[in-house]
Structure 1
Amino acid sequence: MNTPGPQQHRRLSPLHVHRTLQVNILVAFATLLIITVIIIVGYTYQQNSQAILNLSRDLIAQVTETVIERTSNHLLPAAVMAQTSAQIPAVETMSLVQNVELEAYGMEILNLYPQLSGFYIGNEQGEFLFTKRFPDGSIGTQIIDRSGDQPVRTWTYRDEAGNVTNVEVTTEFTYDPRERPWYQGAKATRQQYWTDVYIFFTDQKPGITAAYPVLDAQGELISVVGIDIALDELSQFLATQKVGKNGHVFIINNREEVVAYPRISLATQEGDAFRLTNITDLHLPVISAAYAQHLAATQTAFTINLEGVRYIASFTPFPDTFGQDWDIGIVVPEDDFVGLIKQTNRISLIISLIILAFSIVLTIFLSRSISRPIVLLTAETQRISDLRLDSNLEIVSPIREVQTLVESISSMKTNLQIFKKYAPAELVRQLIQSGDTHDPGGQQKELTILFTDIGGFTHLYQGTLPEDLMQQLSEYVGELTTIILEEKGTLDTYMGEGLLAFWGAPLPTHHAYYACRAALLGRDQTRRLNQEWRAAGRITFPIRIGIHTGETLVGNIGSNQHMNYTVVGSNVNLAKYLQAANDLYGSQILVSAETYHQVADLFYFRPLDRIAIKDNYPTNIIYELMGEVGHTPQEVEELCARFHEGFAAYMRGEWDTAVSIFQALAMAYPQDSATQLYLGRSLTHYASPPGPNWTPTTNLEFFNQPRILA
């Protein structure tokens, strides 16, 4: 692995976390779309809502103005007719009892003004003339006569045509006009007087009275003319004033009494009596809450929230010229105006979300079409950085720049594939993984060196076509190279028909083990190749391998223009000597004692000799590698075991024992060259024993001409 640099260790902030290109494109598009939808929908809703709210305020103002105008017009005839009637001379002089002209006058007034419910006159003597319209259109006249010993009240009822339908006379009554609010108010003010809302005595319904005093020349009160206006018609009129779908329009006085409200009774019964309906009697919490806020904050227009619903409230006083301390109240849910806008906005939002979802899906496909070639290119460049150039680059992108990059990388890959044939790609890959600086220089490390060669190659190629020989040699070297690389080895160089490889650098491994495995696999693969070539009538390659483990100088040798990662030193030469010594013993794989001691429990070996090579290598035993434990035939195991016994007897000078063992082995393995060699040596020493200072040693001083000292 590469050693992480400072940039790799630096912790990235959440905003700079590396994400895939597809995610970045998707996030960018989705964010842009979401922001666009929010801005458009939000702005449209805000503008439309504001426009509707402005319109609602105009509507409330218009309704308020209409109600004030209609109420004023509704009450005006009562004031005018009360004043006009008070100025009729007959009212000043005529008796109220048996006064047919006044009765007719009162009925005519009621016929002219349908909103007037009663016309009456009361005087200081307690006489009373009252003309009243009933709901069915009939008219009744009440006269109270106090001229006798006992007051008498007479009710005369007429149908719509004016015909008398009934007359009721009674002395049992308590009504006295002089005690009524309208009479007392006009008497006290000596001018036109409007009563507060009160319950009419006759029908127990709320209403108001316009009263005007009749005075004599001295200013003394003679009588009072009064005209009643029931408030039912005002309530009916308010029912026609629509403010929104669920709006409330009402009139309220300063005593929190309801003057007019659609569809409810304005009189509340308590026992046998009636009183005016209070605002709390409406059982509408929103109206009570709005009026309370109006009183507390003296606001005329405001909004109020109740139980999660937002209301628009308006309280507008009647003008001072009206003569009554009344307010027109309007309370309407805000959704009555903006509800449709909200619904439209929700629909728009849903449509926008659907469009957004489709857009995101399209963005996913678009981002994938953009990012997939780049992702594939990234993976390809990663493989190229690892010098893995075997895959085919088949990438097509609709984006010109990306396609140009694809073609450039493909061309680079082709060039690298050519270059790879001349450079050890696996070595370069291992150097990259090891974190080597790749500068000239080296270090001393324990390595296992492997040398291979083909025995008698100089004589083999004579009589063989060069093309055929090169083809065979390439196949042979290719197989060995593959095995070495698969067994974690580093290929140093090719030397004609031979090659040099080592283990333990640049990557630390169980170098002796992998080197021995590679040697066995190479031997077995060469045997298979030889069988094929022999069957095809071609020459065969007798492989020779030498393996040694020791401290070796390894590193980069060369210049900035060309460099080789290689091993040098005496231990490399020893592996080469061991490879050549195979010809002496008829073996294929020779290993040094240093290699043997590291993997003795993992492979089957047999000792072949004690060797000496000038002063470069101390005298030591060399071994032949026969097979791997668990993967070797039984006869090879037995051969190694018996050969160990014979070799030990030979080294101890026990010639008879050595001869016996090697004779038995020679009969069992007649083709085994090492057995034949030691059988001959044992017989020689058995016939002519050496002296007491005898030490068997083979001198490998000369590369191709080892000299036997024993």
Structure 2
Amino acid sequence: MPVHVFSFAPVRVAARFFRGVPHSHLLGVCNPNHRSLSLLQLSVRDGACRGIELILRSVAGSKTTRTFSFRALLATVLLSLLGGTVAVLVALSTWTASRNFRDLTQTISQQTLARVEANVQQLLQKAVDQNRQFVQLLGTRTPTVTNFPTIVEYLADSLKAQPSLARLTLVLNPSGQFAEAERLANDQIVLQEGLSADRGDLSVNRWEWRESQRMTREVTSVPATKIRDDEGFLQARTTERSVWTPAYPWHDPGLEVRWGIRYATPIKNPAGGVWSVCGVSLTLAELNRYLRQLDGEVPGYVVVIESAPAGQPHRIIGHPDPGLVGQIVGLTNGATGQSMEDGVLKAYLSALLRDPGLLGVESRSSDFGREFKYNSTRYLGSFRRLKSPNDPPWILAMLMPLSEVAGGVAQNLRWAAVAAASFFVLAALAALALARRIAEPMRQLSNDARALSHLQFEASPRPLSRVREVRQLEQALGDARSSLRSFRKYVPADVVNSLLENGVEAALGGVNAQLTILFSDVVDFTHLAESVSSQQLVENLGEYLAAISTVIQQHAGTVDKFIGDGVMAFWGAPKPNPNHARDGCVAAWRLQQRLDELNREWTAQGQLAFPTRIGLNTGTVIVGNIGSDTRMNYTAMGDPVNVASRLESLNRTFGTRILLSEETRAAAGDALLTRPVARVAVKGSERGFVVHELLGLEAEADADARRLAALTIPAFQACDEGRWVESLELYEAVRKAFPRDGVTLAQIEFVATCQTGPSSDSTAVIRRMTAK
């Protein structure tokens, strides 16, 4: 069904902007031969041009309205594009998934092997640290058999302190005499001392060590060469550097066989040669426990293989199944261990050992992402070596069944296919609605213009239109927005918004309304202005007036005008506010608090401080547009306005900062803490009224403010009733408590003067102010 491209509201907005623009100029953007646009872009552009033409015809007053089925056109184009796009996406998703799957498996392998290596390094470092500590402890002292009792005690304490260590040994060179502490498989610690005996043998004394005590003694004999020429001790002594021994089985009498390694460190004589060799032995049980724990955390499992020199077998030294530790896994000539029970590892090594030197101890290579098959299941194998040349020649291998990882990828592909089909259906539906969106740039311009008419200057960011005229409209609206934003600073925003909401133009006139009016003024501003340059004064005054404006607006007030250093504001217009008196008083108190903070900051910076006086009054005034047809001001007029100004000035008489009329005090309710100051008649008025000082907010007032109010009230009441003697006594009591209180001092002077006058005159209690 043919549909109109634009709604009426955007058309009206666009018509205003396009009125007077040459028709041919606007239609110049609709050249169908523009080669740089795609078919979809041409369709969208053509629809926009038709919309512009429709606007122009409506502006020109044409009686015919063209319609067309743009939705069907877009649907056809989009469905064709979507069909090809979905096919490309499916192929691309499959290729990407395959690549991501390979990257994922390699990442898992690398990260897992890195974790295992970190654990291995932590285990090996314990042996390195123990030997380093032992060598540092000996220093330059030569260990002898006479030191053996002390040494074995130290070794036993070290074993007790470090459960991961299994055996600590010190062998003297060249005699082969030794001191040793060993932790058995049952966690029992035994001590051994091998001392020289006849015929080159060593007499070995063996004790159980419990609670730092030597218990049962056993004496055996062992050839000195067995200890002195042990592989690790011999290599450390001849190379004069620390070495790791190959893994070896560890036979504890009556206990299970353990596999372990030894780290041997020579203790050198400063004069040359080797005094002795110290060794730390570790069992591989801790490594196997970690691999078993890791087996449940990652897909696949990790094994640790000890690489051997040419002609010697590689051996499993770490496996989630401890029973496989020690099995031969292959020879460097390419033959795998026939008795190896781990079939997956055997299949992986068969693939690796096609390159005989790949696993050799001389090789430093690693391998990631090698696929192999075992029992119809595809696996991914990866291995890396320990990085440091000083580490044991260990290979960390990870074997990962691809099915454990590929399951998630396959599920993702299925979800992607479902999502693609759903997207295709939704896109087909969206194509039918896309015709409505062809007018989107104009709709956005209409919304911006409407927001601008309400002085809402925040425009949503969007790319500029490709249509030249639409872009010009966007730029014109932007210029208008900047201009009106500047203009708004001269007019209260609430006033203009009220006019816009009512849909009327500003006109002269006013209404009677009850408002609360505030006047503020800087104390001794003339003297302050003379103490600084005019430029500095303008800058400081700008900060001051900005702070006042902010606080007033935060409390629903309207800033009427700035009168030099003074400010006039009111509450209750243009928007009605039933709490105008309370909001005005709270704003005045918060304003003084904020100015106190700023004055401290300005004084610390060497700038001017602006002590401020405030007066507030509540009453019925005329509020509205006052002035002429060409220049007007939204303001309030009437006697209550004058009274508020007089109250501000009255602060000078009493040394106060905020004074309220009794009308304001009554209308504000119980939220304020005030005290009566005096009954006054301001200049130009015969009526006397009670003036109150704002001491704080009831919920926040401190004890001194409450006490001052409590002492002042009875003194004022006595004064207001003409009881001068009593009033004077009460005010003297206030002065005694608050010697510098300006209100009290002024009232004492006033009461003392009134004592000489006739007490029967009811007007005697009114202070008549002669200054504005």
- TM-score bracket, normalised by the shorter chain, equals 0.3 to 0.5
Whose Rg is larger? 1
Query: Please, what TM-score do these two structures have when normalized by structure 2?
Result: 0.43
